[in-house]
Amino acid sequence: MDIALSRVQPWQSENGLQGISEPHLTSTTFLDLFRIEGFVATCRQLVGHGPRLRHCSALRTATHPRASDPDARLTDQSTWDWHRDFQPDSIIRQSKAGSHLTSQAVVAAAYLTKTTAELGATAFLDGTHVLAGSYRDLTGVAPFVQPEVEAGSVVLFSEALMHAATPVTANGARYAVLTWMTAPWFGGEAPAPFGVDRWVDSGLRQIFTAPRFGDSEP
């Protein structure tokens, strides 16, 4: 474990989740995600603009304290915290018919451990990035998907897609880094790491620049 990181006290909740907000300010290891070849370019294509970092969280999800209690209904999907930050009409755009859709808020979920349905794989209602409504309206209409991925995988999804964090019910823990990448006018909230203005990689530097408002130049 990174020495600087070992001094940070994570926040925690009663369901086995611990987290560190904006871990890139504590350990430069977290900047490696942005240096993966094609990562920034992929985010630029999905967001439709040079992306800005809105938030980053490093998460550890341990086995749920009630994993062996059937009354806790942990595998009942309706008990999960289904949500999305934006309705589709707020952030989904298509510049011309036939071109690909963009989402002005995209989450990159980097899983550092193998992730399965029992080990906290994020769940989605497929296709809801273009469907308005609440979880209750959309469940049963939109297909449920829960990608099971190997350690080192990154799943990118729109913040207009209905999704839920899921409990770890097996023995083990899920380690993941969630990074919210957004269009320039509402990203740039996450503090920039020290010395960012001296970085030579302009794509990487731009991720940490202030949000763009009004007449400011792109």
CA distance linking residue 202 with residue 162, whole number of Å: 33
Residues in 174-193 at the binding interface with ligand AKG, rule: CB under 6 A: 178
218, exposed or middle or buried, with CB in 10 Å at 0-12, 13-18, 19+?
exposed
117, exposed or middle or buried, with CB in 10 Å at 0-12, 13-18, 19+?
middle
**165 binding ligand AKG? (CB under 6 A):** yes
**113 binding ligand AKG? (CB under 6 A):** no
* Least Å from the CB of residue 12 to ligand AKG: 14
The contact pattern for ligand AKG, residues 55-84, with x = CB under 6 A and - = no contact, is ----x-------------------------
Task: State the residue for tokens 């729109």.
Answer: 158
**107 binding ligand AKG? (CB under 6 A):** yes
Cβ nearer to ligand AKG, comparing 56 with 212: 56
Q: Can you tell me which of 26, 63, 122, 169 binds ligand AKG, judged by CB under 6 A?
A: 122
**Quick one: tokens of 144?**
């449920």
User: Please, are residues 141 and 92 in contact by the beta-carbon 8 Å criterion?
Assistant: no
Q: In what order do the strands lie in the sheet with 52-62?
A: 11-12, 17-21, 52-62, 173-182, 105-111, 153-158
Cβ nearer to ligand AKG, comparing 15 with 28: 15
CA distance linking residue 19 with residue 6, whole number of Å: 13
The amino acid at 170: A
Size of the site for ligand AKG (CB under 6 A): 6
- CA angle 160/161/163 to nearest 5° reads 125
* Least Å from the CB of residue 78 to ligand AKG: 17
**119 binding ligand AKG? (CB under 6 A):** no
**158 binding ligand AKG? (CB under 6 A):** no
* Least Å from the CB of residue 98 to ligand AKG: 30
Cβ nearer to ligand AKG, comparing 56 with 165: 165
Chain contacts with ligand AKG (rule: CB under 6 A): 59, 107, 122, 163, 165, 178
